[in-house]
Structure 1
Amino acid sequence: MRIPRTLLVISCFAVSVAQAQTTDKEKALAKKNEAIELMDNGKLAESITLLEEARKLDPAEPEIVYEMALAKYQQKSFDEAMKLLKELVKKKQATGRVYAMMGNALDEMGKPEKAIDAYDEGIKKFPGEGNLYLERGVMELRRSEYNAALGFFEKGIKAAPMYPSNYYRAAKIFLDSDQEIWGMIYGEIFMNIERGSKRTEEISKLLYYTYKGEIKFESDTTVSVSFAKQNNTIVLDASQSKKAQVSSLASALAEQVMASMGKSFANGAYEMTLVKSIIGEKMINLASLNRIRTKFLDIYTQEGRDTTYPVVLFDFQRKVKEAGHLEAYNYWILGLGDEKVFGEWRSEHEQQWNDFMKWFKENRIKITEENTFIRTQIILADAIKKAAK
């Protein structure tokens, strides 16, 4: 069939336009990616030049505008960054990251209340964005409103359970309080999500120091544990022989601990299990903490507490244990608290450590909406149980 010359010309023109458009988009993407690399290396002016070129090639692409705003923000050109971000909001191309940067820019401009409004608007439009809850909580921290800050961090954990920074912030607050239990759990979850960072090293030290500070051997027959506000001191009958004391310790603890702790998660399930796990220990160091944490996991499971109080962290620890790597994992979690001993252990257990690291890289903790650990939900469950009685 013959094609009229006019239609043939139009057809060829349409194809060439489409090819040009595709080429422009590809060029824009390449320039954007190169600009991001320059930005990461601190070359902000060069990055902005490339992004401007990319925008001319693909003016409708919102990611190019966002990256331009980010470069301007890093240059501390906050007014220019805000102009670009507002453009995205106006065109309904904003994401949670856009609102987070808007809040940050407004805060840097000395407008904290407007920054809060930006974060709140972002949370309303993007309730699943963990970084918005983080930024909102940080604003409360700066006003020393710790409970309000925790509220946002824990809402962020619920909304985005694999976003690490809300765990980090919540852990830091609790590990500096008289309710360290929550910091111990949040902190270890954080380490499993964000591995190998400076913040991970910081939390490793804090967890170790908290164990050292809150488990105290007052004498051969007295140990105190204080991870949940009240200090629970367990005293054995001084007239017993040391061997008899150890053998009867479990029953003595059961009575004393239940009387002093109640049956909540914090004072009952966690601290009572921890106290039972300390039986036979005389000091706190990496080796004893490995034994204590291993016993804790066993007792917690054997007594059915994992059914009453399921904790995603303990579920993951059981997975590590089943794979044969719990000792190496415990040393990894707490090792930065005593780097010398950790280094010695790792040298003496090189194959064990390498096997663990290989397994660990391929097996990460998985936290979903269904198994997220949130302190407030545990407290609510305790309150409901108490009311029912």
Structure 2
Amino acid sequence: MRILLSLMVISCFSVSAANAQATDKEKALAKKNEAIQLMDDGKLAESITLLEEARKLDPAEPEIVYEMALARYQQKNFEEAIKLLKGLVKKKQATGRVYAMMGNALDEMGKPEKAIDMYDEGIEKFPAEGNLYLERGVMELRKNDHNAALKFFEKGIQAAPMYPSNYYRAAKVFFDSDQEVWGMIYGEIFMNIERGSKRTEEISKLLYYTYKGEIKFESDTTVSVSFAKQNNTILLDPNQSKKAQTSSLANALVEQLMASMGNSFANGAYEMTLVKSIIGEKMVNLASLNRIRTKFLDIYAQEGRDTSYPVVLFDFQRKVKEAGHLDAYNYWILGQGDEKVFGEWRSEHEQQWTDFMKWFKENRISITAENAFVRSQMILQDAIKKAANSGAGVKADR
């Protein structure tokens, strides 16, 4: 009887301990969530206090440590943030976000080369983490090496095709170049992934202004379209070291070769289709661009370019059109370029706009590794096709 009683006591104690542990985890989670809200409100000291309480309740939870590091980072206490994050690395609890924040903290401390090493280490360990490629590309932008930056942004797009910021950065680089075609596609894909932000409004304006700037009606019978030019000028930053200049030159030469190879899509498929879509128009505004973009989609498919040069963005546009919302979609994409006209159109098409927004909310663009639009990959595939068509053998790497 004594033995049975002891077993019952032990059993009750075990259940009680398990319940207490579960309660502690729940309390820790609640405190962590409250701390995140305080952090978002700028109350960093209060947030850290709560996170420390949460950590005592659940010391094995890595997300609590990460949030503590984030709060320290926002306090500009970078050394403490790195110390906390290194603890996660040692315990093998690190994620791509951990390496990104460590790199950012090192950069803020004036150690850009160590930051780069940290991003590179993160990419090696977490090759599908889009923000690591973003941060790595931004480091190259700060060196004025746009080609090297694009390499990272586009690798990020390929690795994490639904992460928006690499599209945003790549689009901005191309909008500021003579190869705007790639910015037009990356920018619109970005808008479909990240909706309703200040960056979305910015890209909407850039898309509109680029159409306005690169489609020119020179006379009643002449129109010029210029979204892609082959640039044979290579600029080197005189402030760079010779080693950095050599790297920049190599990147620029590769970029130049890619530009010439990419002309089949940029100058051929894209620009020629756009030229045909402009026939009958006399000016560039929201109404005419809506018609031009609609015709572009039809001609692109009719001429089989959707098979030769599949673009996930155009596939999604066709889905929008099939649902009967292409007019509203086009006005949304470009509306920030002429807010007055956009507002007037919405007022005059209130039901149409409401129906579109409801549909749009429930139907997002879906981009996977298989259908992702990456300029470098398109150019490579085009080169392989050309080699095959010319009878040249293309040997794959083993």
Give the TM-score normalised by structure 1. 0.91
Q: Which residue identity lines up with residue 224 of structure 1 in the other structure?
A: S
Q: Which residue identity lines up with residue 108 of structure 1 in the other structure?
A: E
Q: How does 1:143-222 map to 2 (within 5 A)?
A: 143-222=143-222
Q: Which residue identity lines up with residue 88 of structure 1 in the other structure?
A: L
What is the match of residue 56 of structure 2?
56
What is the match of residue 256 of structure 1?
none
How much does 1:16 deviate? 1.3
Q: Distance in 2 between matches of 1:97 and 1:226?
A: 40
What is the match of residue 366 of structure 1?
366
How much does 1:2 deviate? 8.7
How much does 1:4 deviate? 1.7
Q: Which residue identity lines up with residue 381 of structure 1 in the other structure?
A: Q
Q: Deviations over 1:115-152 (max 9, x none)?
A: 00110000000000000000000000001010000000
Q: How does 1:240-389 map to 2 (within 5 A)?
A: 264-388=264-388, 389=390
Q: Distance in 2 between matches of 1:230 and 1:20?
A: 68
What is the match of residue 32 of structure 2?
32
Q: Deviations over 1:182-203 (max 9, x none)?
A: 0000000000000000000000
Task: Kindly indicate whether structure 1 or structure 2 has the higher relative contact order, using CA contacts under 8 Å at least 6 residues apart.
Answer: 2
Query: Does residue 10 of structure 2 align to residue 20 of structure 1?
Result: no
Q: Distance in 2 between matches of 1:316 and 1:191?
A: 13
Range with bigger deviation, 364-373 or 222-231: 222-231
Indicate conservation of the 8 Å contact 1:335/1:342, yes or no: yes
Q: Deviations over 1:252-296 (max 9, x none)?
A: xxxxxxxxx997111111000000000001110000000000000
Q: Which residue identity lines up with residue 147 of structure 2 in the other structure?
A: N
How much does 1:18 deviate? 1.0
Q: Distance in 1 between matches of 2:295 and 2:275?
A: 10
Q: Distance in 2 between matches of 1:160 and 1:262?
A: 23
| Percent identical residues | 88
When residues 13 and 84 of structure 1 are mapped into structure 2, their CA distance, relative to the original with a 3 A threshold, is same
What is the match of residue 92 of structure 2?
92
Q: Deviations over 1:329-358 (max 9, x none)?
A: 000000000111111111111111111111
Tell me the secondary structure at the aligned position of residue 94 of structure 2: coil
Indicate conservation of the 8 Å contact 1:158/1:374, yes or no: yes
What is the match of residue 101 of structure 1?
101
Indicate conservation of the 8 Å contact 1:103/1:116, yes or no: yes
Q: Distance in 2 between matches of 1:171 and 1:3?
A: 74
Q: Distance in 1 between matches of 2:79 and 2:305?
A: 54
How much does 1:177 deviate? 0.4
Range with bigger deviation, 340-349 or 191-200: 340-349
Tell me the secondary structure at the aligned position of residue 224 of structure 1: strand
What is the match of residue 136 of structure 1?
136
What is the match of residue 248 of structure 1?
none
Q: Which residue identity lines up with residue 264 of structure 2 in the other structure?
A: S
How much does 1:376 deviate? 0.5
Indicate conservation of the 8 Å contact 1:217/1:282, yes or no: yes
How much does 1:230 deviate? 5.7
How much does 1:301 deviate? 0.5
Indicate conservation of the 8 Å contact 2:262/2:379, yes or no: no
Q: Distance in 2 between matches of 1:387 and 1:16?
A: 72
Q: Which residue identity lines up with residue 141 of structure 1 in the other structure?
A: L
Indicate conservation of the 8 Å contact 1:262/1:268, yes or no: no
Indicate conservation of the 8 Å contact 1:157/1:163, yes or no: yes
Indicate conservation of the 8 Å contact 2:119/2:132, yes or no: yes
Indicate conservation of the 8 Å contact 2:70/2:81, yes or no: yes
Give the TM-score normalised by structure 2. 0.89
How much does 1:3 deviate? 5.9
Q: Distance in 1 between matches of 2:190 and 2:112?
A: 28
Range with bigger deviation, 262-271 or 131-140: 262-271
How much does 1:385 deviate? 2.8
Indicate conservation of the 8 Å contact 2:228/2:263, yes or no: no
Q: Which residue identity lines up with residue 129 of structure 2 in the other structure?
A: E
Q: Deviations over 1:357-380 (max 9, x none)?
A: 111001000001110000001111
Q: Which residue identity lines up with residue 49 of structure 1 in the other structure?
A: T
Structure 1, unaligned runs of 5 or more: 232-260
How many residue pairs get aligned? The number is 360
What is the match of residue 4 of structure 1?
4
Q: Which residue identity lines up with residue 332 of structure 1 in the other structure?
A: W
Tell me the secondary structure at the aligned position of residue 227 of structure 2: strand
Range with bigger deviation, 96-105 or 6-15: 6-15
How much does 1:384 deviate? 2.0
Larger radius of gyration: 1
